[in-house]
């Protein structure tokens, strides 16, 4: 079985492309970089890939609002090609700024299978950027690759990460209908809206979303900064307690599972 091809999208201000590339490679994928300029010039290039990854960063400076300008560019110039990519069996990952782009594009949560903004990722209640490790609990969800019931520690690093739906009813539906894939949890493992376990104040503790078909994943915290054992914040204590380091850090599961599913489906 050949390695599934992964498109790592580049754009002005995207800055996590190298670690995302490395993580997919480590998981057995075959990643390529493609600059948005190149993709816009040849949109058919998308068809050659099994996975599209939109890495983190500050696309176009996050001017106007985070991810807005890149999302607008993709919406105006690519139309619903990304939606069709998903319908044809592609998988999509958006991390941090990539998640913001996918939400503005309307690809997440995409409950009606059309590109429409149903939720937003907006300013943290603290009104500033913050970099800290958080604990996530993955939910029973529509996502076809991220297993439920995992407790994961990933670093969050954002200023606009508060996942807010139009109203409270919609926010609740995201959880009940299996769109919310991961929640911020406190030290007792309970979903939380309290700072700092929930770094941005997202209602119901929502940290990530999938779409109606479960083939698109968007997360605010970074699996691309937690895939090696030495990425983990307290790995020295782990090494001391276990006598050795584990093979992976907590973020690796995302890349392994996406590559596994892409391989299995091809």
Which spans of this chain sit near other proteins (rule: CB under 8 A)?
A: 10, 12-13, 15-16, 18-19, 22-23, 26, 35, 37-38, 56-58, 60-65, 68-69, 72-73, 76-77, 117-120, 122-133, 155, 157, 162, 164-166, 201, 222, 224-225, 227-228, 230-231, 233-237, 239-240, 245
Closer to other proteins by CB, 78 or 181: give it.
Answer: 78
Q: How far is the CB of 122 from other proteins (least distance, A)?
A: 6
In whole angstroms, what is the distance from residue 2 CA to residue 223 CA?
24
Q: How far is the CB of 210 from other proteins (least distance, A)?
A: 18
Closer to other proteins by CB, 1 or 244: give it.
Answer: 244
Closer to other proteins by CB, 159 or 214: give it.
Answer: 159
**Tokens, residue 203:** 């209602």
**Tokens, residue 264:** 């299995």
- Torsion sign (Cα): 183, 189, 191, 194: negative
Taking alpha carbons only, the member of 201, 203, 207, 163 closest to residue 184 is 207
Closer to other proteins by CB, 67 or 90: give it.
Answer: 67
Closer to other proteins by CB, 5 or 195: give it.
Answer: 195
**Tokens, residue 199:** 């770094």
H helix intervals, the chain: 17-26, 36-41, 68-78, 81-87, 97-105, 168-176, 235-242, 252-265
Q: How far is the CB of 92 from other proteins (least distance, A)?
A: 21
Q: How far is the CB of 200 from other proteins (least distance, A)?
A: 9
Q: Are 3 and 258 in contact (CB under 8 A)?
A: no
Q: How far is the CB of 89 from other proteins (least distance, A)?
A: 29
Degrees, nearest 5: CA angle 159-140-199: 20
Closer to other proteins by CB, 178 or 221: give it.
Answer: 221
Q: How far is the CB of 46 from other proteins (least distance, A)?
A: 18
Q: Which residue bears the tokens 């607008």?
A: 72
The CA distances from residue 165 to 36, 122, 128, 180, in Å, are 28, 10, 21, 12
In whole angstroms, what is the distance from residue 64 CA to residue 72 CA?
11
């Amino acid at each position: 079985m050949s390695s599934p091809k992964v498109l790592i999208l580049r754009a002005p201000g995207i800055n996590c492309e190298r670690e995302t590339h490395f993580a997919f490679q480590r998981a057995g994928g075959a990643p390529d970089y493609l600059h948005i300029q190149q993709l816009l010039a040849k949109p058919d290039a998308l068809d050659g890939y099994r996975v599209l990854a939109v890495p983190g960063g500050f696309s176009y400076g996050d001017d106007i609002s985070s991810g807005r300008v890149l999302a607008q560019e993709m919406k105006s110039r690519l139309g619903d090609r990304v939606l069709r990519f998903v319908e044809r069996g592609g998988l999509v990952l958006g991390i941090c700024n990539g998640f913001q782009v996918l939400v503005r594009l309307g690809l997440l949560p995409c409950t009606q299978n059309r590109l429409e903004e149903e939720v937003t990722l907006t300013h943290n209640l603290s009104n500033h950027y913050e970099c800290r490790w958080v604990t996530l609990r993955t939910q029973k969800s529509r996502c076809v690759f991220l297993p439920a019931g995992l407790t994961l520690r990933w670093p969050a690093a954002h200023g606009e990460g508060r996942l807010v739906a139009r109203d409270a009813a919609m926010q609740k539906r995201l959880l009940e209908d299996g769109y919310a894939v991961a929640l911020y949890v406190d030290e007792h493992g309970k979903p939380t809206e309290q700072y700092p376990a929930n770094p941005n104040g997202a209602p119901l503790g929502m940290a990530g979303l999938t779409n109606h078909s479960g083939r698109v994943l968007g997360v605010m915290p970074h699996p691309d900064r937690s895939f090696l054992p030495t990425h983990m914040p307290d790995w020295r204590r782990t090494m001391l307690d276990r006598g050795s380091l584990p093979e992976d850090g907590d973020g690796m599961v995302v890349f392994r599972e996406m590559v596994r599913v892409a391989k299995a489906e091809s």
